[in-house]
Amino acid sequence: MADFLLQHSWLIPLYSLAGAVLTLPWSFRLIRATGPRPAAYFNILMTLISALHGLAALTAVWGQPARQLVWDWLTVADLNLSLSVQISPVTIGALEVVTGVSFLAQLYALGYMEKDWSLARFYGLLGFFEAALGGIALSDSLLFSYALLEMLTLSTYLLVGFWYAQPLVVSAARDAFLTKRVGDIILLMGLVALSSYGEGLTFSQLETWAASSPIPPLTAALLGLSLIAGPTGKCAQFPLNLWLDEAMEGPNPAGIMRNSIVVSAGAYVLIKLQPVFTLSPLAAGTLITLGAFTAVTSSCIALAQIDIKRTLSHSTSVYLGLVFIAVGLGDVDIAFLLLFSHALAKALLFMSAGAVITTTSNQNIMEMGGLGSRMPATTTAFLVGGLGLISLLPSGMFFTWSRWFNGDWGVNGWLLALLAVVNLLSALNLTRVFRLVFLGVAQAKTRRAPEVAWPMAVPMVSLILLTLCAPLAPLTWPLWLSPNPPLHRELGGILSQAPALLILTGVAGVGIGFLLPLGRAWSRPTLLPLRFFQDLFAYDLYLDRIYSVTIVAAVSAVAKMSAWFDRYVIDGAVNLVSLATLFSGSALKYNVSGQSQFYLLTMLVALSLLFWFTLSDQWGLISQFWGDWLGGAS
């Protein structure tokens, strides 16, 4: 039975897709008597079946080698397109994380979206969302993975724009869709180029291909940069990082999945493409540079936000930036552990934030306070989720970062310095939010704030337990896929003290966060330098305005030039032909005399002119022929 479930584990994403299809009668309001809740129950049931099937498959595949299932899709001449699925502990484990978090998020949505009139449509979109994520977890095909990433882009657009009656929601969905499209188009070019170098290339073949098929340095660099573009947009990395902030206009249950496992899907594809980046130092350096810059700047931007969902969304970009650095360094196992630890902790934080928003009908942390005694489960969820992201004992992130320095990885001191800064700023930011929301004196909007109902509380408590168990993953992870397995020896110099330094920075961040005076009003500094940096980070480095005066302005100028050329050149030429036709027709109508001899004369003259022009072109050739023939005869 276990082997049967393992062999058919490729069906797991289809369960969620079937759940989405089952919601259609309620989504289109073909069934109204029962209300929309049966659609939610169908989708939750299918997700539960997916999770149970995945758990059985994970138990059966644990410790076994990877196996591939291949379906030939299109074979034309030398073109062979196939859909390949890999069944291994890594892929099934990733699939189980997707289905587990999705199941808890859908249970949570029963309480959060209880009064929404489009509950069935929301659950249908979540099922479609989950099916794409599950397919990405199992896919071993370049083409199949790209198609699934496009499904994610469409799902993001539909879920962000779920409340489409609000203009801000519509613009946020549009911006999120277009931002992702930029990276997807460049990624498609890279995948096409990569496929042209290896017939039937799959992710599992990339390492062998990279070692045995060298390509020119320039080609390797361009190929690597194009493959980075797609995950850059999916993972909200600079400069395609603004969409995740705007995507917070969507419902919070979708935000739980988006900030935990959806952004991780782009990083998951990036990890699978890692052998390609070893061919070009430029591509690997770009990954490290993008990740480091995004991690530091997003940490500062998160500190300047006063919206509880937006400050957590910028924190997502921070930790995905660390995944980029790990892939650039070749430490793919650390990248997997970062994704796992971050996904659970961030999902828990967004559940806590959603509970606060539901109870207070407010997202401004400056207008909150005193919720710790009123909402104990929500407070515990935020506290455990925050500790899961900070390098403090006994959190999962501490063991993940410590293992990064636990072997001969060839890591320089700059990485330790970067992690220390990120850990300090993240601890400071989460402590600031915790103080403003859960501690202090209750404000006007938080005086009457009871704990959320059981449909939201049960998933939160369950995820609290899972997050507390997350440190077991770095301690028991047996599948070292990186080229440099840990040697479990102490490093010399400052790196040998890395765990202690990381703990110290975490404690320092928490301490500064508790000691720093926080006013309820958003005060403006009197010093111009402080005011400049406050505005710089609060407005996301003015990136949207930079886009407006550069890319948007350039596209607008090109569009205006194209419109002018179309109106005055293309249309002018067409109008000129039409005027000439009208004029000639008007002139010729006066030559209609009704006399047959005049018509015959006109035809004779026309045929004579036609023959004249035809023979005049050939007359020179005939004269030359006779001249050459007579000259040869003489």
Both tokens of 292, joined, read: 């480091």
pLDDT, tens digit (0-9, with 9 covering 90-100), for 34-68: 888 889 999 999 999 999 999 998 888 887 787 88
What is the number of alpha carbons within 13 Å of residue 365 lying toward its C-beta? 26
User: What band does 622 get if pLDDT is binned at 50, 70 and 90?
Assistant: low
Q: What is the pLDDT of residue 476?
A: 61
pLDDT of 495 above 60: no
Q: Does residue 89 carry a pLDDT above 70?
A: yes
- Determine the pLDDT at residue 198: 63
**Average pLDDT of 606-617?**
74
pLDDT value of position 619: 60
Query: What's the mean per-residue pLDDT of the chain?
Result: 83
* The pLDDT value given to residue 488: 41
Which of 120-124, 203-207, 459-463 is least confident? Answer: 203-207
Name 344's Cβ contacts closer than 8 Å, sequence gap at least 6. Answer: 101, 260, 388, 396, 463, 466, 467, 470
Q: Is the pLDDT of residue 274 over 50?
A: yes
Confidence grade of residue 292 (pLDDT, cut at 50, 70, 90):
very high
pLDDT average, residue stretch 364-372: 87
Q: Confidence class of residue 295 from pLDDT cuts 50, 70 and 90?
A: very high
The model's pLDDT over 20-37, given as tens digits with 9 standing for 90+, comes to 999 988 888 888 888 888
**C-alpha torsion sign, points 463, 152, 364, 515:** positive
- Residue 396 CA to residue 470 CA, distance in Å, equals 5
User: pTM value?
Assistant: 0.85
H or E stretch at 73: strand 67-76
Cis peptide before 239 (omega within 30 of 0): yes
The pLDDT of residue 518 is 75
User: What is the DSSP pairing of strand 79-87 with strand 67-76?
Assistant: antiparallel
- pLDDT tens per residue, range 593-603: 666 777 777 77
**Average confidence (pLDDT) over 516-532:** 66
In whole angstroms, how far apart are CA 149 and each of 103, 130, 144, 269, 365?
Answer: 21, 12, 9, 9, 34
Q: In angstroms, rounded to a whole number, what is the distance separating the alpha carbons of residues 242 and 543? A: 8
Contacts of 176 (CB under 8 A, 6+ apart): 156, 157, 160, 243, 244, 246, 247
| Per-residue pLDDT at 193 exceeds 70 | yes
pLDDT band at 109 (very low <50, low <70, confident <90, very high): very high
Tens-digit pLDDT profile for residues 222-239: 988 999 988 898 888 888
- The pLDDT tens digits of the residues spanning 536-589 come to 887 888 888 888 888 888 888 999 999 888 888 888 888 888 888 777 777 666
Report residue 117 CA to chain centroid gap. Answer: 28
Instruction: List pLDDT tens digits, range 148-191.
Output: 999 988 988 999 888 888 888 888 888 888 888 888 888 888 88
